[in-house]
Amino acid sequence: MSARIRATFDDAGARGWLHAVSLDHPDQTVALDPDVVVPIASVYKLPLLAAFCHLIDTQELNPREQVTLAPEDRIPGATGLSILQDPVTMSLRDLAVSMMTVSDNAAADALLNRVGVDRLAQLLQSFGLEHTRVRRGAAGNLSELRRRTGTSDVDAAFAVLADNDQTDPVGMYDAAGMSASSARDMTTLLASLWSGRLLSEEQTAFAQRLMQQQVFSQRLASGFPYDGVRVAGKTGTFGALRHEVGVVVMPGGDAYAVAVFAHAARGDYRLPRVDAAIGEAARLAVDQLR
Amino acid sequence: MLTERYLQIFVTLADEQHFGDAARVIGITQPPLSQGLRRLEAMVGAKLFERGLGRVELTPAGVALLPYARRALSAIDEFHDAAIAQDPDGPEIRLGLAPEVPASVGAAVAAACGEAVHGSRVTVTSAPTSSLVGQVSSGRLGLAVVLHPAVLDGLQAGPVTLLRSWALVPTSLHPDDGQPLPLRKLDGLPVAVRPRAEAPAARDLFLDTLGLHRPGGGTVVVTDDRAGLAMAAAGQAIVVTPDDSLQAAGVGRHRLIDDPLPVRLRLVWPQPRTPNALPPEVMAQLTEALAEP
């Protein structure tokens, strides 16, 4: 099976990593280099959400706390608060909604500031995630990107990554410098989130709902073109990286946690073949487990 | 007789668990791989793999023999290394060239290899990018010139070199006036392209760019530049190539305005300590040879 999945990524012009596990039969798995640590881009928002919900359960954070974010304090991004022009006041839990459903960088950065990088690291350790590191928020990633590409603004920096006529800056995609995880760590997190072991009933439902409200359907969900199959996921996109991790629920209720990471050979902003390969690889894995 | 190739087939198939993948890693096609395995099994007197649909698994006999095969192979590698050290002809540099590399560019890189390592012997093989990348990863090749973009998992790579392309256009479609042409205008005949599986990412980039600039006209798959040129001579296809030496009667040579379809090449080599790896300072010299072809 891993050879077929590998061939799917080869055909799309990408290197892929995958781990899939049946939530009802955790001994049944499909794997393609599942323990390799890969930079996870915006997938870091999922462990951040889990930590945030945990801190609500322990009453260290108040989900209704209002935060006001001025435009100059908000970091760049393609969606959400990042693209608005005026000051915004929202609750912490609504920041989480925007962070998860449309991968809002500004909302995620504000939430990471409230959770704290060190507190987050401790929580991830306690969740049993050995390979997962959230180094900095997107703000740190973007300044690192500008430094490595020798550019002064974010758009110019991404243009360097997207240019197929240039070589990627050295170390640009090294897991060591960025938020990183392994495919197996992500399915571990998803499995404990779905089992209800990780969070209270209320926070479990909240986290699952945000993933079900995921607006991007080009990746995992594209592999399951049936309204009866529900897909809850979180994507990650940065330069040539294309990821999604999530839970696929079959019409009968059987559920599978799937983590797919891909690093495309091409740097283009739009890589529909790689997005579709993520869905296809997930479909191959889930069909094997059914 | 037990040969190195049989051991290589055994070990690689155990690692890849897939006939096609194993054949690609070794750099042979599937029939000789299957035949080699059958002969080895006949020699051993036991089945080494269970063959299922698309996948293979070691039998208990295979599991028992695999460590011996690995040890034997590494002993053979040590023998090769020791032999190279004794070889009065000097070390061997194995260079791979993708078929899209123009003959003169491949020759320049090969010549630079000879100059970079005193007393070396250079051997050159041609294979598609996807095969070369596997052969460099496994250390079977010391370096290769491949198409960019390609998946280069774990390989070292030099900068991207852009080669300007020519359009070889049948004179029946456009007179041989040497004038640069807009790609958009070349929709009267299909453009010859090599098989996609040879280098999916680079080929898709070519096809996507072609589709952007030239919505009509289509493409036709050819096995190599000779076939492409022959089809152009027959008035059946347009060839896009950086190769200055390709020519035929009845085929005109034109630059494409703004050069939308350059050939992107990169030198790739294995991580240090892989068999056949060259020293970093030599690789720096060779990337320059490709940058200034």
Residues above pLDDT 90, as percent of chain B: 58
CATH number, domain containing residue B136: 3.40.190.10
- Residue B128 above 70 pLDDT? yes
Pairing between strand B219-221 and B191-193?
A: parallel
Asked whether residue B144 falls in the same domain as residue B115, the answer is yes
Q: Does A265 touch chain B if contact means CB atoms closer than 8 Å?
A: yes
ipTM, two decimals: 0.90
Asked whether residue B174 falls in the same domain as residue B256, the answer is yes
Q: What is the mean predicted confidence (pLDDT) over A16-20?
A: 98
Looking at residue B293, its pLDDT comes to 59
pLDDT, tens only, A59-91: 999 999 999 999 998 988 889 999 999 999 999
Closest Cβ–Cβ partner in B152, B200, B205 for A12: B200
* Mean pLDDT lowest among A83-92, A204-213, B89-98, B155-164: B89-98
Tell me phi and psi for residue B75, to 5 degrees.
Answer: -65, -40
Angstrom distance (rounded) from CA B38 to CA B35: 5
CATH number, domain containing residue A270: 3.40.710.10
CATH number, domain containing residue B58: 1.10.10.10
Asked whether residue B178 falls in the same domain as residue B199, the answer is yes
pLDDT band at A135 (very low <50, low <70, confident <90, very high): confident
* Interface contact B150-A12, CB threshold 8 A: no
Structural domain that includes position B47:
4-86
Angstrom distance (rounded) from CA A184 to CA A176: 18
Asked whether residue B74 falls in the same domain as residue B144, the answer is no
Number of structural domains chain A divides into: 1
Q: Does B262 touch chain A if contact means CB atoms closer than 8 Å?
A: yes
- Residue B24 above 80 pLDDT? no
CB atoms within 10 A of CB B50: 11
Structural domain that includes position A6:
2-289
Average pLDDT, chain A: 94
- Alpha carbon of residue A208 to chain centroid: 14
Q: Cβ contacts (< 8 Å) between A167 and chain B: which residues?
A: 157-160, 266
* Interface contact A11-B148, CB threshold 8 A: no
Greatest CA span in chain A, whole angstroms?
52
User: Domain boundary at B86, B120, B136, which?
Assistant: B86
Is A49 in contact with A100 (CB distance < 8 Å)?
A: yes
Asked whether residue B174 falls in the same domain as residue B213, the answer is yes
Q: Cβ contacts (< 8 Å) between A164 and chain B: which residues?
A: 148-149, 160, 205, 264
| Both tokens assigned to A277 | 């390969």
B window 20-79, beta carbon within 8 A of A: 20-21, 54-55
Angstrom distance (rounded) from CA A215 to CA A194: 20
Looking at residue B30, its pLDDT comes to 79
Pairing between strand B191-193 and B166-170?
A: unpaired
- Alpha carbon of residue B241 to chain centroid: 17
Asked whether residue B81 falls in the same domain as residue B196, the answer is no
- Residue B138 above 70 pLDDT? yes
Is B185 in contact with B169 (CB distance < 8 Å)?
A: no
Angstrom distance (rounded) from CA B287 to CA B292: 9
SS3 A262: strand
Q: Does A15 touch chain B if contact means CB atoms closer than 8 Å?
A: yes
Q: Does B130 touch chain A if contact means CB atoms closer than 8 Å?
A: yes
